[in-house]
Every structure is written in structure tokens, then in C-alpha cells.
Amino acid sequence: MNDNVVPIKRGPDASPPTLTPILSLTATPMNAVNAIILDRMQSEIPLIPALAGHLIAGGGKRMRPMLTLAGAEVLGYQGTRHHKLAAAVEFIHTATLLHDDVVDGSEMRRGKSAANIVYGNPATVLVGDFLFSRAFELMVEDGSLRVLKILSGASAIIAQGEVDQLTAQRKIETSEDRYLDIIGAKTAALFAAASRISAIVAERGEEEEMALDSYGRNLGIAFQLVDDAIDYDSDAAEMGKDRGDDFREGKMTLPVILAYARGNDEERRFWQDAIAGFSTEDEDLAHAVTLIRKHDCVTETRERARHFAQRACNALSIFPDSAARRAMVEAAQFAVARGY
């Protein structure tokens, strides 16, 4: 490992890492990306921009297009081709969020009612399809077959990961390896592709392309692991509000996999019932949190996230030190440290 690259810290931090540097780094091009997003989600059918805007205008961190923009910065790319491609990446992500909300029967997304609740499942499915098609139109306008190959491949992998997650749902015997396969597909594949395509528009070689792929992929896994940890890491008072969705849906995430593996017979029976959907009341969730704490499963999940975030940083070691690289490193540190 190149010692220019800062190691990821363990545990809470007095001055915790933030996304501020990467947000500043990408603020100007992100305005251009947002303008493309707003322009290209338009349609003569008014329901389409209304529904798409409900989610897109609702914010979100724009993590994936940010990776495309940050990659261009670390490579010193001076053009603007990546703006359209970053918008395409966000459209693919938005399409998957809309379909996820239908699949999960979500009620909330980004702090407000999910699109499927406001507009119904049928429109939500179809507007997802529209945004997905628009993403490909944007890529075709750019004209790079390599970018099209990477993003169509990533899209197929995402869909497979989502189906795989559905298959694993309510199955207590899901292994850690299978869980990592699932999040590698449903989350990390688009992080990897978003990051990688910046090297293609910048016309760099295989080594830089794969370094950015690795940064994005490992960062995506770290983010997902910490998301999954946070869903079990709240005060009991908060439980039953915005946390615990994974528990109620019987999703097998790493904290549960670890707690089940470490549990005694009685605890394992609890998990079997809970994941099967027989014990999903607020008091069951509180008990789940107690067991996960008892076996240090949130800490352990964060430790795994630290491992992947470190790999993300290591992948950047082929690039010279720069404000862009430092911002990308801090984003990886943030991925692990957030939510403490």
C-alpha cells in the first residue's frame, strides 16, 4: 500500500470524516449533471416528471454520479462528456429505487412518502422503465460502446442481485458469502461502473480503469454494510420508527447473519421465527437489537466495512496525491464512520 493513502480509522472520531471535500470537489460539474437530469426526466406525459421529480428532487446524496465526477477530477479530465453519463448513472439508480419501493412495499424513502404510496405501484414501475430507457438514450448520445457495455452489464447484475436478495429473504440459513455476493451485485456493481467510466471518457488505460472500478466497488460494499448495521443500531426509543425495515421484511443482512451464528439455541430459535416473519413486533425488534449488541454484531459489521473501505483507498494509491484523491479517501472514511 502506498503510504500516501490514509488508513481508515476504527471507532468514533473526535473530528469525524465527512462528504464535504468530495461534495465541494464535484459541486460545479454536479450542477451541470442536475440540469441534464431535470431536462431529461421531462416528458409530454405530465405524470412522468411529477413522479420522477418526487424522488429525484427529493434529494439523496447523488453518490453514484459523484463517483463519476470525482473519478474525472482525480484523472485531471477537462471535458464534459462525463456529465451526461453521470446523469445516466443516476437515472439507472433512480429506476432501481422506484422498482425497489414497489418490490419491498416501502412506505418511506428519503424522509417522505415513497413514490409507490403517492402514485401507486403501476405508475412507479412504468416511470422506472422510462428512466431506465432514458439512461440508455443518454449513453447512446455519448456514443461509447465501452461505457454502454459496462453500464448495461452492471444493470443486468443489479437486477440479478435484487432477485437473489428476494430469494434469500426470510431464509435464516443465508451465509455471509451469499450476502456479500448479493450486496456486491445490487449495490456495489453500479458504484464500480459509475467510478470506472470516468477513466473511459478520460481515455486512460486498463490500470486506471480497474483502479477506479475497485474504488467504487469496495466503497459500495462499505456503504451497504454500514447501512445494514445502522438499521439495527438505534436507541430502543427510536425503534419502530425509521429503523428496523430490514428486520420486518425478513432481509438477511450481516448483523443478523453474525448474531444467528453466535447465538445460543434459544437465540437461534428467536431469529428463525423473526426472519420467517412470525416475530416482527416492535418488542421483537428491540430484542433483536439487544442480541445484536450482546454479540457485538454492529461493531463487527463496521469492521468489515472498514476492510472494504481500506481496499477502496488502496486502489487509489496508483494516483498521485491531489485534493481529488484526498476527497475520495475521506468519502471512504465517511462510509465507515457515519451513523456513530
- Contact between 162 and 96 under an 8 Å Cβ cutoff? The reply is yes
Which segment (26-34, 125-133, 230-238, 308-316) binds a second copy by CB under 8 A?
Answer: 125-133
Nearest Cα residue to 217 out of 176, 186, 246, 179: 186
Which segment (9-17, 70-78, 151-159, 220-228) binds a second copy by CB under 8 A?
Answer: 151-159
How many C-beta atoms surround the C-beta of residue 205 within 10 A? Answer: 8
Task: Give the nearest distance from C-beta 64 to a second copy in angstroms.
Answer: 16
* Cβ neighbours of residue 288 closer than 8 Å, sequence gap 6 or more: 232, 247, 256, 259, 270, 271, 274
Pick the closer one to a second copy by CB: 6 or 125: 125
Question: In the set 62, 83, 99, 306, which binds a second copy (CB under 8 A)?
Answer: 99
- Contact between 91 and 135 under an 8 Å Cβ cutoff? The reply is yes
Question: In the set 4, 18, 43, 322, which binds a second copy (CB under 8 A)?
Answer: 43
Q: Give the separation between CA 202 and CA 71, rounded to whole angstroms.
A: 9
Residues in the chain: 340
The angle subtended at Cα 104 by Cα 98 and Cα 106, nearest 5°, is 70
Q: Tell me the number of residues near a second copy by CB under 8 A.
A: 43
Examine residue 136 and tell whether it contacts a second copy (CB under 8 A).
Answer: yes
Task: Give the nearest distance from C-beta 11 to a second copy in angstroms.
Answer: 37
Buried b (16+ CB within 10 A) or exposed e, 83-100: bbbbbbbbbbbbbbbbbb
Question: In the set 27, 156, 261, 276, which binds a second copy (CB under 8 A)?
Answer: 156
Examine residue 177 and tell whether it contacts a second copy (CB under 8 A).
Answer: no
Examine residue 130 and tell whether it contacts a second copy (CB under 8 A).
Answer: yes
Examine residue 38 and tell whether it contacts a second copy (CB under 8 A).
Answer: no
Q: Which residues bind a second copy (CB under 8 A)?
A: 43-48, 95-96, 99, 102-104, 121-123, 125-127, 129-130, 132-134, 136-137, 139-140, 143, 145, 148-149, 152-153, 155-156, 158-160, 162-164, 166-167
